[in-house]
Amino acid sequence: MKLAATTSIAVGAGMAVADAIQLQLPASSGAAGQPFDGYVSYSIEFSSFPDFAGNASNPNLFSYNLINNLGKVMGTNPYIRVGGNTQDYALYDANQKEALVGIYNISRSPDYPTTITIGKAYFESYRTWPGVKLSHGFNLGLGATKPEGWTTLQQTAPIACEALSHDNLYTWEYGNEPDLYSTSSQGPVRPKDWNEATYVEQWQNGTNKIRELVQKACPKLADPTFMAPSFAGVGSHLNGPKTFKAGLDDNNDIALFSTHNYISGAGSPGVTLQGTLMNHTRTKASVNVHVNEYNQIHAITGDKTPPLMFGECNSLYNQGRPGLSNTFGAALWGIDFNLYSASVGFKRVHMHMGTNYRYQAWQPVETDLASIGTKAPYYGSMAVAAMLRNSASHPVSIGTLALPNDAESGYTAHFTSGSKTGKLARVMIINMRGYNSTVDGAGLDPLPKPPTRQVRTYSFQVHDAAAEGQVVQIQRLLANGSDAITGITYDGWSYNRELDMGKPVRLHNVTIGETTTVKNGWVTVDVVDSSAALLSFTKKCT
């Protein structure tokens, strides 16, 4: 079988051609398309939000630039969910001048404060990113059981709605991971007999009050809607389908069914980069659990079922592990996780971040624990945005490719509207075979050479005969290895803060402008281990 020639990465010193994979591309992605507006989105820890967004006098322009980069590629900006564990610790102090005062209790969590008061200045942060829509997380953990918590809800709802009444409201959230309230390692806030019926009663009581307060203070916001139930995952103390049976959405005010996901824990035994994150089978199984739960809810609610999204997710819970969650390998995992989720019906994915967290896409401020800057996972977000680019106006459906190894995955994007319906738009190949760029040579002279980095050849038979002769653009996500935490580029672009405050800067030491051609019905690309390649089908050769 004769394969098409390709302009690709050079196989030079330290690289070797490995296996060649041949596969027929499907005529369509199978699943129905959806707009995917702001599909690549973020969840920001409530206590960290002022760091990420800044305030009226000092907005965080670095964060804003990174958000806008994604928005320019996707056609719509990321949506920002402000919440997490600390939303359920936050109490309001009307006399407090500071935006947030937090006290750390290391025995409860070393990564975020667990005693928190916020002042009116906190809400300034919602006005620092023009064109970005945000959600605000209210405190259900204390709000439904403590007088000071209920008072906080009553005092902050009018302030929050005013801050979010400038065409910057996404939706509201009442409570973070209430399924863990009776079992939380940070300290239970509900009794052991906490159940779905009691949760629904408390949730509806609180959301009814939010509705009343918002309608009075901000009538132009009309009827508030919510993301819910924001459970930590499937199989915890409360059951998602049971909450809907108990009437969670009786008021028809849940706009998005929000669920949370982490592949594993930062301290869990046996967690590795290759076996846990850079493993398509593991990722697929983790996501499918949520799809199965959603299907159960759909059987209960039918056509009224709100769209499915990950309201909070990332690699390893407890804020990630150094050497895993902050590496280029985690960026490759992020592409796989996001695109697989898109292929099975998720409307949006909010990757979680917080100040000093190991899995974050960027560190917004300088601290004694972490340096300000763009982190490896952000580059994975950019690659996903490029795969889904402009899909708010040109919807695509995402399909999966059946590649033979756990350490690789592939996805297709087909147009689903107008005259382009069914046409192949893009293909993403993620080669997650680990390659370490560093070698432990302590005490050795001479130092050992790095191992040979292999290249895989992927050849795809294109179903559409009209694609013959098409120019196919190749854009690559590259780093020195899966263990790299710096030196990462997407299509030759760097988004490092030190270059231009996170705005894209083209580097001159990275090959760009690669193309190949559909020839004899086939298209071929070489993909080096620990990298990803995006193929975009653009135009006929002349």
Query: DSSP letters along 479-496, please?
Result: -S-TT-SSS-EETTEE--
Closest CA to 420 of 33, 10, 103, 6: 33
Q: Is 173 a catalytic residue?
A: no
**Residue 527 contacts residue 533 (beta carbons within 8 Å):** yes
CA distances from 289 to 102, 260, 444 (A): 35, 11, 48
Q: Is 312 a catalytic residue?
A: yes
* Residue 30 φ/ψ region, left for φ over 0, alpha for ψ in the -120 to 50 degree band, beta for the rest: left
Handedness of CA 503, 506, 509, 515 (dihedral sign): positive
Q: Which of 173, 312, 408, 514 is catalytic?
A: 312
- What is the crossing angle of helices 61-74 and 376-387, to 10°? 30
d(CA 36, CA 389): 9
Query: DSSP letters along 187-242, please?
Result: ---S-TT--HHHHHHHHHHHHHHHHHHHHHH-GGG-S--EEEEEES-TTSSS-HHH
Handedness of CA 400, 404, 405, 408 (dihedral sign): negative
Identify any residues that bridge with 207 across adjacent strands, giving them in sequence order. Answer: none
Please tell me whether residue 71 adopts helix, strand or coil conformation: helix
End-to-end CA distance of the chain, in Å? 25
**CA-atom Rg of the chain in angstroms:** 24
**Residue 114 contacts residue 186 (beta carbons within 8 Å):** yes
d(CA 380, CA 486): 13
Query: DSSP letters along 235-286, please?
Result: TSSS-HHHHHHTTTTTTS-EEEEEEEEEEEETT-TT--IIIIIS-HHHHHHH
Query: DSSP letters along 281-310, please?
Result: HHHHHHHHHHHHHHHHHHHHHGGGPPPEEE
**Residue 35 contacts residue 391 (beta carbons within 8 Å):** yes
d(CA 490, CA 474): 11
Q: Which of 45, 124, 177, 196 is catalytic?
A: 196
Handedness of CA 30, 32, 38, 42 (dihedral sign): negative
Q: Which two structure tokens, joined as six digits, stand for 403?
A: 């590649």
Please tell me whether residue 349 adopts helix, strand or coil conformation: strand
d(CA 38, CA 157): 26
Active-site positions read: 196, 312
